[in-house]
């Protein structure tokens, strides 16, 4: 079994790390540069930076903030928010991003996935999918979860893989911030459907939830935010717990 990854997520708004519940009720969670550096020291496997207001505010990701964070971390660093063209990517690469995450722009223009994969390689392209269960269907949402679309989670993930995405970051909007556990049923289905890695996001509340998403959800990585930001769980404690339960992790 490949090593499972633990990934803290920095949701950024107005230059600060924030966290909400079900994509609303946003509250401040601290300085992103300090948090990023702390997680790298704790043994996080990767870091995700999402400028959650960039698309709604019709602007690009804060490049200077990306640069500040990159200088303080020594682990792979994924950046997303407001990326809608190849031209948007070069400044982020120069600022220190190792991968980019696309979401809303790719739903509007799926060809963007092909273009980015061709220009930079599939391993560089993470497709983020925010989805909510509506009448027994997992529907994709864009613009920070505020706009429902007619795209279905599983067919969209499959199409993204075929277009060249190297990884899927699936966030269950129904589970986000609830601390009731990850959406393991759709995660397991994504695992069966795809040959690329799937990152579980939304719902982490304790160590057991991570164990369950690796065993039941078959996730390749698990992402969390508030649980780490507010000191409820440390990455070393989590990894020791997972290793004790026979989940391969990098210590």
Residues designated as active site: 11, 130
Q: Are 15 and 28 in contact (CB under 8 A)?
A: no
> Can you tell me which residue has the tokens 């505020």?
146
**Both structure tokens of 94:** 């120069």
Residue holding tokens 């120069």?
94
Q: Which two tokens stand for residue 19?
A: 């966290």
Half-sphere exposure of residue 9: CA atoms within 13 angstroms, side-chain side = 30
Cβ–Cβ < 8 Å for 143, 104? yes
Handedness of CA 49, 18, 131, 235 (dihedral sign): positive
Question: Residue 51 in contact with residue 83, Cβ under 8 Å?
Answer: no
DSSP run (H or E) holding 124:
none
Helix axes 63-70, 32-42, angle to 10 degrees: 30
Supply φ then ψ for residue 92, to 5 degrees: -70, -40
Rounded CA gap, 160 and 26, in Å?
30
């Amino acid at each position: 079994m490949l090593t499972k990854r633990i990934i803290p997520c920095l949701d950024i708004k107005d230059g600060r790390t924030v966290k909400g519940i079900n994509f609303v009720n946003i509250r401040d969670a601290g300085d992103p540069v300090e948090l990023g550096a702390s997680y790298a020291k704790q043994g996080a496997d990767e870091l995700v930076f999402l400028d959650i207001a960039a698309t709604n505010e019709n602007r690009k990701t804060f490049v200077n903030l990306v640069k500040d964070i990159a200088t303080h971390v020594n682990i792979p660093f994924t950046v997303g928010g407001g990326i809608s063209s190849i031209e948007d990517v070069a400044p982020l690469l120069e600022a220190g991003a190792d991968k980019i995450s696309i979401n809303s722009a790719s739903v509007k223009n799926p060809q963007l996935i092909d273009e980015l994969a061709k220009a930079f390689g599939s391993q560089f392209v993470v497709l983020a999918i925010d989805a909510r269960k509506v009448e027994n269907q997992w529907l994709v949402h864009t613009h920070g979860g505020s706009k429902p679309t007619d795209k279905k989670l599983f067919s969209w993930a499959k199409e993204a893989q075929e277009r060249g995405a190297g990884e899927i970051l699936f966030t269950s909007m129904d589970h986000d911030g609830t601390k009731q556990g990850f959406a393991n049923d759709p995660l397991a289905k994504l695992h069966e459907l795809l040959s690329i890695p799937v990152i579980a996001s939304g719902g982490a509340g304790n160590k057991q939830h991570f164990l369950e998403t690796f065993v039941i959800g078959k996730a390749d990585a698990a992402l969390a935010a508030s649980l780490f930001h507010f000191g409820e769980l440390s990455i070393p404690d989590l990894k020791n717990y997972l290793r004790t339960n026979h989940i391969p992790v990098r210590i």
